Chain A
Amino acid sequence: MRVILGLTLRRSLRRTLLLGVALGTFLFLVGLSYASVDQNQIRSLVESLPPAIRAFVQGADLASPAGYLGSGFIHPITLALLATTAIAAGAASARDVEHGVAELLLSRPLRRTAWIGAELIAMEISLAIVTVLGSIGAFIAVGTIDDLGTVPFGSVALTALTMFLLFSGIGTITALAASFSRTGARAISMGAGTALIFYAIDYLAQIWSLAEPFGPISLMHWYRPSNVLGTGSIPTSSWLVLIGVAVVASGVALLVTSRREVAP
């Protein structure tokens, strides 16, 4: 398993580092921009916005340091960078089948579960690298910008952890899709489609009372960075759902892949 893990990490290392540095830079810039915000002005601005617009920041208080920094964690750029990492890594097994890499590797005395297990671990490590590099940007912002000084480092770390768990769930769902797919493109489109559906359900549940009961179906519902930054804790239900989805999706992906055919 270590051999495959090393190969998988090695081939995606450059992309992972690039995405991590981009996320770190972006979260630092979000923090930096808070120094130029007039809190009263932004509060009245946000309150004047219709609920459909405010739902994009999950109703967070953008005037507060935690709410403002939290908006960086749900900004489309942040979501796109992490979704790219999770979905690209999650679809690796389908790409390997498509390009004959799986055939080459599995014609050696290598268990299929070891192969797919290594790819899942590599995905988690890649996500962890991007999350840590992203968090460094947020840490630097909190540590150097006076107006953000009230946000504890521990809360930033917990928020980063929730972000990691959310995209771990999306990545493993993509890996599950990949275990049924013969091409990487198909797995990627299924992973990206699932992420977009999650986002849409969460958004609709916030602005439309009829859709509200369906909110928990979405993994995004369990990801509230502004709340975590404000309270300094992750609700138990969020832990359970985000970790549970990742574990179940990984288990099913392992099971399906161990029985599937791996010829291109």
Chain B
Amino acid sequence: MPTLSGVISTAAIHAQGLGKSYRSDVMALEDIDLEIAHGERIGFLGPNGAGKTTIIRLALGILSPTTGSVAINGHDLATDRMVALTDAGYVPGDLGLIRGVSGRRMLDALARLHPRPPVLRDHLLSALDLNEHTLGKRIRDYSTGMRQKLGLVAALQHDPAVIILDEPTSGLDPVMQARLLEVLEERARAGRTVFFSSHVLGEVDELCDRVAMVRDGRLLLVRDVAELRRARVRTVEVLFDGDVDPATYRVDGIADLRVDGHVHHFTLAGDPGLLLTRLGALSPRDVTINAARLEDVFRALYLGDAD
């Protein structure tokens, strides 16, 4: 069972043996153990129907677990839901805003449901380009992107300690996606925990410290993003001034070597440190190492495990 190292007793989110079945014979989610530390940024990856949203809904008490338990900041959702949710800010994947009221009224109402004041509202409205004119309009007149931005402001306006977002960038244009990532980065720097699911590997790669991958209702792994990248194969291209024997720089992990004149192409698995030291001694004219993308990691893990 993939779990995190360095378990913290008062984790921001702690799930233990979490399972959910909708009928007695169909397990939507099985035996999830997950511990997310305070201030951590964790991305939740998986295809449609893998169970990402179910885990999030269980973590917020929207659904009740069939087995196990989940807690936010040490408060169990089954027994202490009201206190647990005081620390959380959530944007659902299917954002259900009341369409017959204005954006401002919706924000006010959602703010009043929290014991904390909406201290970040003005900052978020400005960061996400929502002006007074837009807020005065009825939500039914909003575009998908505007509704999503309103949902984000509603979730973050009271500066929650634990930010839970289900596909938060869907419906946002690229500029707004970047702004949102900046806002989340800023909240993470302020010590807030960010837990979000996404299909967009790039944004998880950009924002997160760790990634959790889920498939068929099971947690495949929870790993540091940097560690995953390090573990993966990179493609390397070295240009020398003259003929060089590959044996002079060969290290463990090199494969698919091809020499094309003075250009050497190969793949490298693992840490490139030793290779760079050996290449340095040979004074190459140019070295290009293509960093492993999380997308490649994800595909390899997913497909590999599926096989």
Confirm or deny: B69 has a beta carbon within 8 angstroms of a beta carbon on chain A: no
B62 within 8 A of A: yes
* Number of chain B interface residues as a range: 20 to 34
B148 within 8 A of A: no
Bound CA–CA A264/B106 (angstroms): 20
Contact indicator B92/A104 (Cβ below 8 Å)? yes
B82 near A107: Cβ-Cβ < 8 Å: no
| Known A-B contacts A103-B57, A107-B85, A107-B88; A10 and B100 likewise in contact (beta carbons under 8 Å) | yes
Q: Which of A78-134 contact B (CB under 8 A)?
A: 96, 99-111
Knowing A101-B96, A101-B97, A103-B94, the reply to whether A109 touches B109 (Cβ < 8 A) is no
Closest to A104 in B: B96
Q: In whole angstroms, how far apart are the Cα atoms of A102 and B97 in the complex? A: 9
Does B63 contact A108, Cβ atoms closer than 8 Å?
A: no
State whether A102 touches B96 (Cβ < 8 A).
yes
Interface check A6, CB cutoff 8 A: yes
CA–CA, A96 and B88, complex, Å: 21
Contact B113 A3 (CB under 8 A): yes
Check B100–A104 contact: CB distance below 8 A. no
Interface positions, chain B 74-115, Cβ under 8 Å from A, are: 81-83, 85-86, 88, 90, 92, 94-101, 105-106, 109-110, 112-115
A47 within 8 A of B: no
Partner of B113, one of A14, A96, A99, A105: A105
The yes or no answer to B193 lying at the interface (CB within 8 A) is: no
| Residue A52 is within 8 A (CB to CB) of chain B in the complex | no
Per-position 1/0 for A5-27, Cβ under 8 A of B? 01100111010000000000000
In the bound complex, do residue B62 and residue A99 qualify as a contact, i.e. CB atoms below 8 Å apart? no
Residue in chain A with minimal CB distance to B105: A10
A110 to B95, CA, bound (A): 17
Tell me the smallest distance from the CB of A150 to a CB of chain B, in Å.
44
Determine the chain A residues whose CB is within 8 A of the CB of B88 once the complex forms. 107
Contact in complex: A100, B82 (CB < 8 Å)? no
Residues of B within 8 A of A96 (CB): 96
Q: A108-B113, A110-B113, A261-B64 are in contact. Are A100 and B85 (CB under 8 A)?
A: no
A262 proximal to B (CB < 8 A): yes
Chain B: minimal CB distance from A59 (Å) = 43
Determine if B92 and A107 form an interchain contact, defined as CB atoms under 8 angstroms apart.
Answer: yes
Report chain A residues within 8 Å CB of B64. Answer: 261
Residues of A within 8 A of B90 (CB): 107
For B188, what are the chain A residues with a Cβ–Cβ distance below 8 Å?
none
Known: A7-B101, A263-B57, A263-B63. A104 touches B95 (CB 8 A): yes
Complex: how many Å from CA A99 to CA B115? 26
Whether the Cβ atoms of A108 and B114 lie closer than 8 Å is: yes
Smallest CB separation, B82 vs chain A (Å): 5
A264→B98 CA distance, assembly (Å) = 15
Indicate whether A7 sits within 8 Å of B57 (C-beta atoms), given known contacts A100-B95, A262-B62: no
CB–CB B105/A264 < 8 A: no
Q: B60: CB under 8 A from chain A?
A: yes
Using Cβ atoms and an 8 Å threshold, which residues of chain A touch B151? 104
- The answer on a CB contact under 8 Å between B98 and A109 is no
Is B96 a contact of A6 with CB atoms below 8 Å? no
Cross-chain contact B85 with A108 (CB below 8 angstroms)? yes
CA gap between A100 and B57 in the complex, in Å: 12
Does A100 contact B105, Cβ atoms closer than 8 Å? no
**A261 touching B63 by the CB < 8 A rule?**
yes
In the bound complex, how far is the Cα of B96 from the Cα of A104, in angstroms? 6
Roughly how many angstroms separate A3 CA and B98 CA in the complex, as a whole number?
13
Tell me if B46 counts as interface (CB < 8 A to partner A). no
- Taking a contact as CB atoms under 8 Å apart, the answer to whether B98 and A7 are in contact is yes
| Among candidates A3, A14, A99, A263, residue contacting B112 with C-beta atoms closer than 8 Å | A3
B114 touching A11, Cβ below 8 Å: no
Question: Which residues between 108 and 133 of chain B lie within 8 Å of chain A, taking CB atoms?
Answer: 109-110, 112-115
Residue of A nearest to B83 (CB): A109
Residue among B62, B83, B86, B115 having the largest count of chain A Cβ atoms under 10 Å: B62
> What is the CB-to-nearest-CB distance from B301 to chain A, in angstroms, rounded to a whole number?
28
In the bound complex, how far is the Cα of B62 from the Cα of A106, in angstroms? 7
Partner of B101, one of A11, A107, A110, A263: A11
